[in-house]
Amino acid sequence: MAECGRVDSNTSHTMDKSITLPPDEIFRNLENAKRFAIDIGGSLTKLAYYSTVQHKVAKVRSFDHTAKYSDISPPYLYEISMQEEVTARLHFIKFENAYIETCLDFIKDHLVNTETKVIKATGGGAHKFKELIERKLGLKVDKEDEMTCLIKGCNFVLRNIPHEAFVYAKHADSEFRFQTTNPDIFPYLLVNIGSGVSIVKVESEDKFERIGGSSIGGGTFWGLGALLTKTKRFDELLQLASKGQHASVDMLVKDIYGGSYGYLGLTGDLIASSFGKSATADKEFSKEDMAKSLLHMISNDIGQLACLYAKLHNLSRVYFGGFFIRGHPVTMHTITYSINFFTKGEVQALFLRHEGYLGAIGAFLKGAEEDNPNQYSWGENYAGSSGLMSVSPDMNPMQRARSGTFDMLEMDRLERQLVNLPLLQDPSSYIPDTVDLTEDAPAREYWLYCFEEALDGVVKRAVASQPDMPEAALRAEKFRQKYRHKLQTLRQQPFAYGSLTVRSLLDTREHCLNEFNFPDPYSKIKQRENDIALKYYQKAVKSLDELSWEEKQFALVRGVLAGNVFDWGAKAVSEPAFMPLGGQTDFCIFFFIPLSERPWLVDSYDQWLERLKGPPHKCALFFVDNSGVDIILGVMPFVRELLSRGTEVVLASNSGPALNDVTNGELQILTERIAAMDPVIEAGLREDRLLLVQSGSSSPCLDLRLVVLVCDSTSLLFPSRLDKVLAMVVRERQTDLVIIEGMGRAIHTNYYAMLSCESLKMAVIKNSWLADRLGGKLFSVVFKYEVPVGKPNKDCGAFSPC
């Protein structure tokens, strides 16, 4: 049912309040905005628009080495340039209806070049503001059906935002238990609790049906609550309710039975009759108690009906939304309780992080159908999004006081559509992150502290990466403020962006850096280190070739591990005391890296060695980590050995920069240079047995569910000619070995990932806290070679029917 109710049109009141709302912070990138949509509810307005964002990206370009440089050689092997790139972004903003006029004025003043003629509108309040919107913006208001918008929006967030849905558990260690993304979102039941309740069964993108509803909903709580308690505002009613004791108003089973009704298994505390004790004229009841009783009555009733409908239609996924739920822990708790009670735990009540935006998102999508937004993947931008409950007064009093109540969601269009890596054993149960910091309080404490402490260094690095830009310092300062604020928010609301993980902390930092045009703070460092490391490549290969076969295998593994120590993202390594290369020390130190002796913390080297004595793998997919020593002196010789054995190699590197991780662009240049020195690599490239692909990620971590499609199967001379799906490459080449390297990809994420083929996870633990947690010491080694259960150790193609 529609969301109706208070629409405050008191203008003087509006003007008064508007001072506190910072429109320039909220309505970003308005210059190129188009395709507006608006959802006006009973008290909140949600505005959506599409815009393009210009931001800088770091590109690398190889110097021409084919020319004859006998005496003059360029200072570096490639040059770095900053280029402007335009990406698409969706903006969703939520603010109180009181601000609507001010907001419209602001939009009108800042909307420069738009061909937009129409604004899609939905929500119960849309018709009341129709005239105002048309007059202020000069756009024609085009009304869209509310339920259709809601469902469209719901499908969109469920498909695009990881950790969108959560279970609420008031008394658990973490109140929010986020659900892992399941690509199969249908069918589900959406229970929308506005002033009334609508129960909608959604079967596919375009097929949904309102199968039922109830008139006892949010409006009943609000209306009846206002009558009983003389409290006008919905929020205040909820606050009253959270302080009340319903047992003084409700007749419980024990009030009738004196205890439980054992015969039926009804416990004494169950409500037998809501308001059953207030059937008397001569007793006063407190507002709090009545509000609480009312809340229970309504939540239980809705929960019961939802269960009856879920049972009738045999559905187990039930999402709750509407203003009754929106960001209110009290109602999420009572609804959850009710669902648990009525289904005996068989159905879980699910809530959505962006539930408040569904209508606006849906209306926007309706208007943007010609752009086919559903064919793209979209990712939540952590820098531009407020996070869950940013406006909840219980959760975030600070922010509420700071400015008017507003909340934002920004989503970036991903250049590639992301799909699961086909080698995951069970994609539906795969969770990339090793530790969920929302649930692990000590780990959360540590990592938040760690990231906060590292912030100064990151800021310095960012400024240093742009020596020619005098305003870099100012931007870096803004970055510092933004990221610090995010960390503070996460300290208070670890659940703000779904499950909090080391990966999400790292990704948030990358998003914030990009936001302030620091696309690649490590570009210069990477350049220098790549350059130095290249000089030692031949020497390294030569010394390896002098070893016996068995010695060599160990030296190769040790080389990858030692190379991985050179990591600017790691706490221990980014400290000045440990800068072997940055300090221009002789490169020999590479061979004296303080690696721990075997047996390592996790050590299946013997099994790996045994495997190597067997037939070669068909194809290895190698997710690489850092640039410089790591990739050039650690990974490349390892790759070289695989190629020599007759194994094809697919090297997957980041699409965009993250810390000092090697990017696909850089890796292409490096590989080309190495090929010039090394006939094995050269032949590999030429014969298409060595392939460079993008991982699709710009994160130091790795989510194997969201791996790319686009890859560049080239021929370096014709980059990006052939776009091929990585997933396809993996299948075509019958990949039977996955190698994942580094802390971010193999420890923080994927440590427990189960693959359907052999896998090798290698990392050096460069953080003493983490080492401690895992029962090791700083620079402990993880060497985890795994063969899937049921697969013979030898000669087993990933897709062979063994």
Q: Which residues between 125 and 164 bind another protein (CB under 8 A)?
A: 145, 147-148
Site for another protein in 341-380 (CB under 8 A): 341-344
Q: Which is nearer to another protein, 304 or 488 (CB)?
A: 304
According to DSSP, the residues that pair with 208 across neighbouring strands are: 202
CB of 207 to another protein, least distance (A): 14
Q: Which is nearer to another protein, 120 or 558 (CB)?
A: 120
H-type alpha helices, 313-414 = 329-343, 358-367, 397-402
Whether the bond between 187 and the residue before it is cis, its omega within 30 degrees of 0, is: yes
The 10 Å Cβ neighbour count of residue 349 is 25
Q: Which is nearer to another protein, 265 or 467 (CB)?
A: 265
CB of 435 to another protein, least distance (A): 37
Q: Which of 661, 757, 651 is nearest to 713 (CA)?
A: 651
Q: Calculate the CA 366 to chain-centre distance.
A: 25
Residue 297 binding another protein, by CB under 8 A:
yes
Site for another protein in 703-732 (CB under 8 A): none
Indicate the pairing of strand 188-193 with strand 197-202.
antiparallel
Q: Which is nearer to another protein, 220 or 664 (CB)?
A: 220
Three-state DSSP class for 276?
Answer: helix
Site for another protein in 176-195 (CB under 8 A): 194-195
Interacting stretch for another protein, rule CB under 8 A, among 108-116, 212-220, 649-657, 705-713?
212-220
DSSP 746: I
DSSP 662: P
Cα distance between residue 494 and residue 486, in whole Å: 10
**Cβ distance 35 to 363 under 8 Å?**
no
Which of 166, 168, 222, 451 touches another protein by CB under 8 A?
222
Which of 63, 76, 186, 275 touches another protein by CB under 8 A?
275
Q: Which of 488, 499, 353, 446 is nearest to 772 (CA)?
A: 446
Residue 196 binding another protein, by CB under 8 A:
yes
Q: Which of 276, 273, 302, 272 is nearest to 193 (CA)?
A: 302
CA angle centred on 64, ends 62 and 65, rounded to 5°? 105
x-or-dash string of contact with another protein, 31-70, rule CB under 8 A: -----------x----------------------------
Which of 21, 48, 253, 652 touches another protein by CB under 8 A?
253
Q: Which is nearer to another protein, 124 or 742 (CB)?
A: 124
Q: Which is nearer to another protein, 198 or 756 (CB)?
A: 198
How is the beta sheet containing 34-40 ordered, strand by strand? 140-143, 118-122, 34-40, 44-62, 78-96, 406-414, 377-380
CB of 328 to another protein, least distance (A): 16
457: left (phi over 0), alpha (psi -120 to 50) or beta: alpha
Cα distance between residue 385 and residue 363, in whole Å: 20
Residue 232 binding another protein, by CB under 8 A:
yes
Q: Which of 745, 780, 787, 783 is nearest to 765 (CA)?
A: 780
Site for another protein in 255-274 (CB under 8 A): 255-259, 261, 263-266, 270-274
| 128: amino acid identity, one letter | K
Residues in contact with another protein, counted by CB under 8 A, come to a total of 73
CB of 170 to another protein, least distance (A): 21
- In order, the DSSP letters of 63-95 are ---SS--SS---SSSEEEEEEEEEEEEEEEEEE
The CA–CA distances, whole Å, from 459 to 455, 509, 569, 581 equal: 6, 11, 13, 21
Find all residues with CB under 8 Å of 686, minimum gap 6, and list them: none
Site for another protein in 304-343 (CB under 8 A): 304-305, 307-309, 311-312, 341-343
Interacting stretch for another protein, rule CB under 8 A, among 29-37, 87-95, 224-232, 784-792?
224-232
Interacting stretch for another protein, rule CB under 8 A, among 213-221, 364-372, 556-564, 613-621?
213-221
Q: Which is nearer to another protein, 128 or 478 (CB)?
A: 128
Q: Which is nearer to another protein, 207 or 721 (CB)?
A: 207
Q: Which is nearer to another protein, 251 or 454 (CB)?
A: 251
CB of 488 to another protein, least distance (A): 36
The H-or-E segment that residue 61 falls in is: strand 44-62
Residue 496 binding another protein, by CB under 8 A:
no
Which of 160, 174, 179, 220 touches another protein by CB under 8 A?
220
Residue 576 binding another protein, by CB under 8 A:
no
CB of 140 to another protein, least distance (A): 20
Residue 285 binding another protein, by CB under 8 A:
yes
CB of 309 to another protein, least distance (A): 7
Cα distance between residue 261 and residue 253, in whole Å: 7
Three-state DSSP class for 156?
Answer: helix
Residue 532 binding another protein, by CB under 8 A:
no
Three-state DSSP class for 254?
Answer: helix
CB of 179 to another protein, least distance (A): 24
Site for another protein in 89-128 (CB under 8 A): 124
Hey, what are 360's tokens?
């606006």
Interacting stretch for another protein, rule CB under 8 A, among 247-255, 520-528, 632-640, 718-726?
247-255
Q: Which is nearer to another protein, 233 or 613 (CB)?
A: 233
